[in-house]
């Protein structure tokens, strides 16, 4: 793991790292904010998953997260959204498949299966790397994200309650099996068997969830993708039917952008902080 850039910020450091990934077979990158802390102390950690077209840069430079990571005493980790340079035919042809669009699944189909393993990368390799090299308490971890990354946070959190004690999302793709973005990605990465898709669909996972990891979702009502791609109502129906501990807030006038995220990011840190302190 190599530190490639470092900037002092709010008395801590925003660092960028790269490493050769055994999971993807490519070089992977991630950003981390390390708030000021006494030597030897390990802090709770939040993993942020970004959306379509994003890299490790978007959240760490646009969300004002470092201010609140310092306030609540948490390390923040923001990985890239896909392998880069995997040389899969067609991986750079569209914004919603391939480069910048890993969808946090482990691909099983064709050339995608070799490198597009973002589920295993985030839950296993990245987590192990972070816990080994950075001052984090792996037993106090939460996960959050935006759009495609919100989908990822919900899925990874629901499938791994032993790893993540809190889950939150901004404008997540809640029912990717029904959404054009999800259908396109799942067909390419996972094939046409919809039973395989269900393992990466938060709405479907909630129907059989035994663990009760708390969830917080914020959704802007002026989000251009809400009706066709995000389908918040579908997830809420399942939560209500099963009495799942999810708080879903609809924000009047807000869209899909980082202007929306930065407005409410402090509340997400407070939510995770409450869960990770308990």
Does an H or E element contain 43, and which?
strand 43-49
DSSP 137: E
Whole-number Å distance between alpha carbons of 262 and 114: 35
Whole-number Å distance between alpha carbons of 4 and 38: 24
SS3 of 186, please?
helix
Considering the candidates 115, 166, 223, 272, report the single residue annotated as catalytic.
223
CB 251 within 8 A of CB 220: yes
**Strand stretches in 80-179, DSSP E:** 136-146, 166-170
Considering the candidates 147, 151, 201, 272, report the single residue annotated as catalytic.
147
* Paired residues of 17 in beta bridges: 3, 30
Residue with tokens 């404008």: 171
Considering the candidates 115, 151, 218, 256, report the single residue annotated as catalytic.
256
Cα-based torsion angle of the residue sequence 56, 141, 1, 26 in order, rounded to the nearest 10 degrees: -60
Residue with tokens 């450091």: 13
Question: In the chain, what are the helix, strand and coil shares in percent, each to the nearest 5?
Answer: 35, 25, 35
223 is catalytic: yes
Q: What angle do CA 234, 201, 139 make, to 5 degrees?
A: 110
93 is catalytic: no
147 is catalytic: yes
Q: In what order do the strands lie in the sheet with 136-146?
A: 2-9, 12-20, 27-34, 75-79, 43-49, 136-146, 166-170, 215-220, 246-251
The catalytic residue positions are 147, 223, 256
């Amino acid at each position: 793991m190599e530190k490639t850039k470092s900037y002092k910020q709010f008395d801590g450091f925003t660092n960028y790292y790269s490493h050769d990934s055994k999971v993807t077979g490519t070089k992977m990158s991630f950003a981390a904010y390390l708030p000021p802390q006494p030597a030897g102390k390990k802090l709770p950690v939040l993993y942020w998953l970004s959306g379509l077209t994003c890299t490790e840069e978007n959240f760490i430079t646009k969300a004002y997260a470092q201010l609140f990571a310092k306030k609540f005493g948490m390390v923040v980790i923001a990985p890239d959204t896909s392998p880069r340079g995997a040389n899969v035919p067609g991986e750079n042809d569209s914004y919603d498949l391939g480069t910048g669009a890993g969808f946090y699944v482990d691909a099983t189909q064709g050339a995608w299966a070799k490198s597009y393993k973002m589920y295993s990368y985030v839950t296993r390799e990245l987590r192990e790397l972070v816990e080994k090299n950075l001052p984090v308490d792996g037993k106090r971890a939460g996960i959050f994200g935006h759009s495609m990354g919100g989908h990822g946070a919900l899925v990874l959190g629901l499938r791994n309650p032993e790893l993540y004690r809190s889950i939150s999302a901004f404008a997540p793709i809640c029912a990717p099996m029904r959404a054009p973005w999800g259908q396109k990605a799942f067909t390419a990465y996972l094939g046409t068997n919809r039973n395989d898709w269900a393992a990466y669909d938060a709405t479907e996972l909630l129907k059989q969830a035994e663990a009760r990891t708390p969830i917080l979702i914020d959704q802007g009502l002026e989000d251009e993708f809400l009706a066709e791609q995000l389908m918040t109502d579908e997830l809420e129906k399942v939560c209500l039917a099963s009495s799942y501990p999810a708080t879903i807030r609809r924000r009047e006038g807000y869209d899909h952008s980082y202007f929306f995220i930065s407005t409410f990011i402090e509340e997400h840190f407070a939510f995770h902080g409450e869960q990770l302190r308990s």
